[in-house]
Structure 1
Amino acid sequence: MSSVGIVGAGRLGLAVARLAVASGHRVLVAGSAGPARVGPVVASHAPGAAAATVTEAASADLVVLAMPLTAYPTLPVAALVGRTVLDATNYWWELDGLRPDLADPATSTSEIVQAHLAGASVVKSLGHMSAADLEAEARPRGATGRKAVAVAGDDPAAVAQVVRFVDDLGFDPVVVGGLAEGIRFEPGTEIFGGDVDAAELRALVARFPDSQRGRYLAKIRARGGR
């Protein structure tokens, strides 16, 4: 059993918590409202998990970011030094507002999070499937029709840790490359929102440069990133 700290007590955070508990992990869930208010939600929607402070969740073996991306500056940087941080956040301009700093085509959002959490190892994963699909599509290892989840990171040990966790949750992990390659499964890409197997996920990753989003990013970056 390993410990998993989930920062975010919304639908995604609770879905990951339920799957992690079912796979035998000890799970801590933290929300912006604090343990006293998050506790009843966790007890009701993720039995077996425990409510915690963000700092407590940050002490887990693996830390999952399931909160709004705009909240990343509030993360406890010192507490996350040396930790593997699974970044499942995304930038949603409809909800987050127009944020040029988060929509910069010269970088991926997970690289922005990594720059803030300089002492941690950030790995992007889980965020390209909805909370509902994560629970509906989870399958035992080797099961027919098992879906795939993309993984991108720079630290081999951290990537391996996330790969094991994704497999535990019920999905075939597909490593797509370094953290910068996480842009291949951000909103607006073919992978985002899709429920596909490992072979199809690899095919989508491979044809990203020729996709509408891929061509757009290449064009913008060729002009200096703006």
Structure 2
Amino acid sequence: MAASAQRSEVPPAPPARAARPRASAKGEQTRARLIAAARTLLAGEPGERFTTRNVAALSGVSHGMCHYHFQDRTDLVLAVVADIHPEWITPLEEAVSGPGTFAERAERVVGLLGRPEGAELSRLHSALHWHALNDSRVRVVLDAEYRRWRACFVALFQVLADERGGALDPRPLGLAVAAAVDGLAAMESLGADDGADGGAVPGDGGEPVLRTLIRTLAAGA
């Protein structure tokens, strides 16, 4: 009885305060605004200085709050790399991993890569490549993103290998297509006018070339 009485005298735990989730949500909103501003500056005119101070000013956030979320401008660049991942790598992964035969998946991939890339995303890719040349942290992360992007083409030809009982190596075939896509994108980017589409994927001009290449490699494998 005494032990029972003592337990009953223990005060109940205080209820969890609801303010913390609201503060966390506000912090996420602030972080999202900073990333959006970083995207705008990176995709802007080449003469615009990409600094944490300019990102903070554009987003309407104090410079100190910017450094609360991001240690330096490299952290901001890396956040942009992660932010654009769903816009160019995820759709390709989904096109390859979706249901269907090799031919059906290949056609989805060609159709996806044949869509013109937005001007902002194209300029972002160019800016990120520039930062990768001058910042080892950006280079490591961006290299990992491109390895994942190239792996999609290897996975595509793995489907063909499975259909044929594993009689072919999908890696050289997939990497050959990835290199061709890079080359087509570079050619279109060099030949494009200011503000035109181009960048990490070819536009509709490269679609017949890419389709023919995939079919030729598949037939000769």
Query: What TM-score bracket applies, with the shorter chain setting the length?
Result: under 0.3
**TM-score, reference length from structure 1:** 0.27
Higher strand share: 1
Please say which structure displays the higher CA radius of gyration: 2
Higher RCO by CA contacts (8 Å cutoff, separation 6 or greater): 2
Higher helix share: 2
